[in-house]
Amino acid sequence: MAQLILIRHGQSTWNAANRFTGWVDVPLDRVGRREAIAAASKLGEYVVDVAFTSLLVRAIETTAICLTESEGLCGGKSPVFKHDADDPQWHGWDKYEGHRDEEIPIFLAQALDERYYGDLQGYNKAKMAEKVGEEQVHRWRRSFATRPPGGESLEDTARRTLPFFRDRILTHLREGDNVLVSAHGNSLRSIVMELDDLDTEQVPGLELKTGVPLVYEIDNTGKVAGKTVLN
């Protein structure tokens, strides 16, 4: 049995300002950093072998805080962000002294980025609701198939998150590796929808809190055998 820890990043500056965020790359605020530190302490009894994060800084910060503030999460190993050495920007970065089996690799994946909010990005959610109505804003935010103007529906987001989840993350879990995944409200909702076997009627009711880890027990066939929410 392997453990899959999913964590939505801590509160960002735009969560606090109630603005549609999507791909806008805002950092955690002070509350968010505290939430990530609290999550790290709740994860003290867990040990991971590998981690995945989106490319957005709020998820990267949350990953770094969890892996460095938790007593045991790295099991004494050193967390290292694994940039793509084939990318000219990063060419040669991976030549350094030290044993790779003494590291927790952290893979950065665009597939885990937040759902793209298109033309809504930057707008205040409450002001938008005054303009177009609560129901419309709720449909844009929580329905499975409705696209916000110029953006991705949850269904579109799932088309990139789920293949990545099945190919890259589940493969580790089937082999018995414990995995940490730090990502976003909606990119994680698409993954939780699959893990919890939710249908399109149920998914609008699924809310993930910032900085609250979900721990899944995954068997060697890739099936979910248990779930704990570390509130």
117 near ligand 2PG, judged by CB under 6 A: yes
Per-residue contact flags (x/-) with ligand 2PG for residues 141 to 180, judged by CB under 6 A: x---------------------------------------
Q: At 118, give phi and psi (nearest 5°).
A: 55, -135
Least gap, CB of 37 to ligand 2PG (angstroms): 20
Q: Assess whether 9 carries a catalytic annotation.
A: yes
For residue 192, the one-letter residue type is V
Binding window for ligand 2PG (CB under 6 A); candidates: 20-28, 88-96, 98-106, 147-155: 20-28
CA separation for the pair 86, 63 (Å, rounded): 23
Of 4, 20, 34, the closest CA to residue 114 belongs to 20
**Nearer residue to ligand 2PG within complex by CB, 115 or 172:** 115
Q: CB within 8 A of 132, min separation 6: which ones?
A: none
Q: Is 220 known to sit in a ligand binding site? A: no
21 near ligand 2PG, judged by CB under 6 A: yes
Per-residue contact flags (x/-) with ligand 2PG for residues 27 to 56, judged by CB under 6 A: ------------------------------
185 near ligand 2PG, judged by CB under 6 A: yes
Q: Assess whether 114 carries a catalytic annotation.
A: yes
Ordered DSSP codes for 177-223: --EEEEE-HHHHHHHHHHHTT--TTTGGG----TT-EEEEEE-TTS-
Can you tell me which of 11, 15, 161, 182 binds ligand 2PG, judged by CB under 6 A? 15
Q: Is 21 known to sit in a ligand binding site? A: yes
Tell the burial category of 145 from Cβ atoms under 10 Å away from its Cβ (0-12, 13-18, 19+): exposed
Q: Is 30 known to sit in a ligand binding site? A: no
CA separation for the pair 125, 184 (Å, rounded): 17
Question: What is Dmax (Cα atoms) for the chain?
Answer: 58
Q: Are 185 and 5 in contact (CB under 8 A)?
A: no
Q: Binding site for substrate: residue ranges?
A: 8-15, 21-22, 58, 114-117, 125, 141-142, 185-186
Q: Binding site: residue ranges?
A: 8-15, 21-22, 58, 114-117, 125, 141-142, 185-186
Residues with active-site annotation = 9, 114
